[in-house]
Amino acid sequence: MKLIILDRDGVINLDSDNYIKSASEWHPIPGSMEAIARLNQSGYRVVVATNQAGISRGLFDTRTLNLIHNKLHQTALAFGAHIDAIFFCPHAADEDCGCRKPKPGMLQAIGQRYDISLKNIIFVGDSLRDLQAGFSVGCTPYLVKTGKGTKTIDKGGLPPGTILFQDLAAVVDALLQREQLATDTVESARQAIQKKNK
């Protein structure tokens, strides 16, 4: 199974320091929906893992979050894209839950849902806690410069092996180019063997 995990705010949609509190405040980052569609077309299941402490803080409720995610799903569909699942943590940092990134609980739940090891699965985020959560379960951490990404780079302390990208579209460009190169290499080797055996 080909799986990729994305943070939501700052990766898929424009972020806000005041939280995304309603569907009307949710707006995709230019190019992100097309990027997800390209992942789907290449056989990837796209899963979202997002901290949503605004619920615990009383800024919005789960019904509103569902409306926001319905807009995400409908917008994706309009671009021929599909989000396979959205996992979220509703807790604030001081609640010390196991699912709030940078803790691994939410990602572990994704691994259990899909019955897959998360080793080398790509996790795309814009904050240090995203990368730390992914790294802790064996994911390859990809940091985008959208959202809080540039500030995250400036602060430093990134997990070993973190790869930097301009945005989600650039992530997908690099990922699909790498896959095409691998396919071309295998095909070239196959043709060489066939030629030698003739």
45 CB-side CA count, 13 A: 13
To the query of whether residue 96 is one of the catalytic residues in this protein, the response is no
Helix, strand, coil % in the chain, rounded to nearest 5: 45, 15, 40
CA distance 170 to 165: 6
For the beta carbon of residue 83, count every other beta carbon within 10 angstroms. 20
What token pair was written down for 159?
């997990």
The catalytic residue among 7, 15, 126, 130 is 7
The catalytic residue among 9, 126, 130, 167 is 9
For the beta carbon of residue 94, count every other beta carbon within 10 angstroms. 8
> Among positive and negative, which fits the CA dihedral 33, 138, 176, 171?
positive
To the query of whether residue 7 is one of the catalytic residues in this protein, the response is yes
What's CA 126's distance to the chain center, in Å?
9
**Which active-site residues does the annotation give?**
7, 9
